[in-house]
Structure 1
């Protein structure tokens, strides 16, 4: 087996993580994926066989489609709530105080690390923390996203499961000049050999020993902590916003058909009958008047649009599904005790409450690992967060009105989520609220459809079409 081999759970979950990456990136990334998320219709495929070699029909189809930014809006609202939480940190030794201001390998403090972990958990449902030491012997924490943790194994030691292998993929600079941005993929392998930690860096066919040592002491455990949305086991869990992302993708596909149909109703196909090979058509005017033979006929072929309204109704249903998915993740119920809420949420779904708790517990475990490495008492080091998002009660009537307003486009979905999480209506002007609504969806009135088509018979020599 090769170092690039992937865990079966990783292989199964990777498509979900890639969907979430594209969903968070937004409309440009979704549309660049072309047929991955928006397949061509049978008519488009046939048209390209018949001469549409550049795929102009499909390009118009994908350009008119609208991808809603529900996932981005939900993430912004939830991270805004989490950023207001203040962690309680207990670090006694001066050897560990560096973590308060410079906790990560890129120079961020513990609160910033906490927020970044919550973002990773909301997006992918999984991340990991590696405890390491720098060249000066100071501990730091490195955050890895779900796609970077490609393989792992657990070994039964004394009746308990311990991590015996973790394979992490990293991107290292591979530019030939200082302005380049080329990277190469390397694998960092952490393994327990005869009860001692070893770290190796695999670059192609070469291997480099990177086993960390602090004061001549080598670790007897793997200093890597998995973090999930419900618990911190190595097993891959659920992705909290995946339902919302899938609803947004389905809305995107439906909107392509919807706006394509509207486009066709606005550009009906003209037709002429009663011409022979020798007949010339004279055209005058701008838009224009046709000069036709006396016995000819002309008109427009228009789609009746019977299915357009049903498509719009299904688009609204997908929006409703996305709102429901977002409300389950925020899940603000101030009437329950913390233990009761945690038990109910663990049984049903990942929530912002459980995500905050898991992220805080993972950071605390990482700090304790660093303390053990430095031969300090791990009980003297804690990191905890109280996930109290609101002390205000939510009025069910107002919440229902905001929900209906979000569906109908009278208020933004962000206002709905913010009120549900905080119990307060956001302080925005009417104009600011309408700008949010317009940024979330394109409100376009249904046109008046010609249900019977047009068939204009001509008995004179001149007519305007």
Structure 2
């Protein structure tokens, strides 16, 4: 039995290296330069150290993995997500974590981390304000900070009964600061949810872990009967660890970088033209050594009978260059094609087909994020006594929808003839970008009822002639 709050699950420790690899590759060259091999590692001389330093400096890193991640983010957030909450929870739109980060910005960061590691976490905390009431906040945790978890059967359902999160808060240290390590235990007990914070005590914080804070978050209706924490995965939101969507591209990207280092090294040592002279006698060699050899169109070179001068240069199609081209093509096939401009024009149907393979993983991640945030907002409402329906939806229309005036006219005519409801028409117009996603039907109806610009609206959506009016 382990009473150590810093205990790490075996399946967690097995994937740390993979997570670190993908995050380093996405971060850029400064984070992966140490992953290049060492030339003649047995040679500890200063000359070999200088050669290895130059070997790393000459290498060129093409960050296809990071650009692919950014391209996927752009596809998901080229339209604002839609947030459906009652007035009491509208503050989440501008301040979801209590530090001024909007729920839109926060969800972008979550998608970025899910694409890198295939795993993230959302925790809902509740703060009692001065006076009456309080407010909920949504906090995010990287995969590396979710070190332990456990599930159990409660009322016939498997639910989270324990989650341990590693945190590194900053504390004042004179004019500077220092970071300390602590562990936040989220546990489900018989009475409900409890949160404990563990820190090390003793000299230089190297002693045993002890509880420094214990609280039972209580909202309007008392303690929660579940842990307000949800995993966000690439495949689903259960506690199991999903594979990183970008791992395969990252590994090929590293191989491409190593090939680049070898190629640039060969270019430096062999790429420059090497002059050669043949047919020299000993006297000519001595003469040239004394006077020097100048190469160029304005420096004619005198040679003995049967002497020759020329340049030696390697062929351009080297093996390393071909290996780089192969890996580049592999990255394109795995999803990096979104950062390579197509030279041929394509129809909308062809564009949809080309993007389907790349966006299928993205669609799964986006759906999981939408589901996780909807659940987190629901917990925010439970703390604050809100029972209204809530929802958060990140865009899943990765191919831009367009509509010409004739199509819009046809849609409005279909609605006027009772083909579908006004709410359905507005929902489609939001997808087309003709109605801002954050504008609700209630807001639109209210503005229409207050219009005094001579459009002749006697009622919401009905004109003076009794026919359906403006949607």
The answer to whether residue 255 in structure 2 is matched with residue 250 in structure 1 is yes
Question: How do 1:317-328 and structure 2 match up within 5 A?
Answer: 317-326=326-335
Q: Distance in 1 between matches of 2:18 and 2:179?
A: 25
Question: How do 1:104-119 and structure 2 match up within 5 A?
Answer: 104-119=97-112
Aligned with 2:179 (options 176, 183, 186): 183
1:406 aligned residue:
none
Q: Report deviation, 1:255.
A: 1.0
Question: How do 1:51-62 and structure 2 match up within 5 A?
Answer: 51-52=45-46, 55-62=49-56
Gap runs ≥5 in structure 2: 201-208, 300-308, 340-346, 403-471
1:313 aligned residue:
322
C-alpha contact (below 8 Å) 1:85/1:387 kept by paired residues: no
Q: Report deviation, 1:318.
A: 1.0
Q: Report deviation, 1:355.
A: 1.2
The answer to whether residue 370 in structure 2 is matched with residue 360 in structure 1 is yes
Question: How do 1:52-451 and structure 2 match up within 5 A?
Answer: 52=46, 55-94=49-88, 96-136=89-129, 137-178=134-175, 180-204=176-200, 205-211=209-215, 212-215=217-220, 217-266=222-271, 284-285=291-292, 309-326=318-335, 351-377=361-387, 380-391=389-400
C-alpha contact (below 8 Å) 1:230/1:350 kept by paired residues: no
- Relative to 1, partners in 2 of residues 1:364 and 1:223: Cα closer, same or farther, differing over 3 Å? same
Q: Distance in 2 between matches of 1:22 and 1:206?
A: 34
C-alpha contact (below 8 Å) 1:38/1:253 kept by paired residues: yes
Q: Report deviation, 1:92.
A: 1.9
C-alpha contact (below 8 Å) 1:329/1:352 kept by paired residues: no
Q: Report deviation, 1:223.
A: 0.4
Name the SS of the counterpart of 2:231 in structure 1.
Answer: strand
- Relative to 1, partners in 2 of residues 1:358 and 1:262: Cα closer, same or farther, differing over 3 Å? same
Deviations 1:375-430 (A, max 9, x none): 432x521222341122469xxxxxxxxxxxxxxxxxxxxxxxxxxxxxxxxxxxxx
Please identify, of 320-329 and 148-157, the stretch whose mean Cα deviation from structure 2 is larger: 320-329
Name the SS of the counterpart of 2:14 in structure 1.
Answer: helix
- Relative to 1, partners in 2 of residues 1:315 and 1:158: Cα closer, same or farther, differing over 3 Å? same
- Relative to 1, partners in 2 of residues 1:334 and 1:9: Cα closer, same or farther, differing over 3 Å? farther
- Relative to 1, partners in 2 of residues 1:215 and 1:300: Cα closer, same or farther, differing over 3 Å? farther
Deviations 1:176-231 (A, max 9, x none): 134x3531221111111224212111111332224223358222210001001121
Q: Distance in 2 between matches of 1:60 and 1:194?
A: 63
Which structure has the bigger radius of gyration?
2
RMSD (CA atoms): 3.7
Gap runs ≥5 in structure 1: 290-298, 339-343, 394-465
C-alpha contact (below 8 Å) 1:238/1:350 kept by paired residues: no
C-alpha contact (below 8 Å) 2:197/2:211 kept by paired residues: yes
Name the SS of the counterpart of 1:187 in structure 2.
Answer: strand
Tell me the TM-score normalized by structure 1. Answer: 0.68
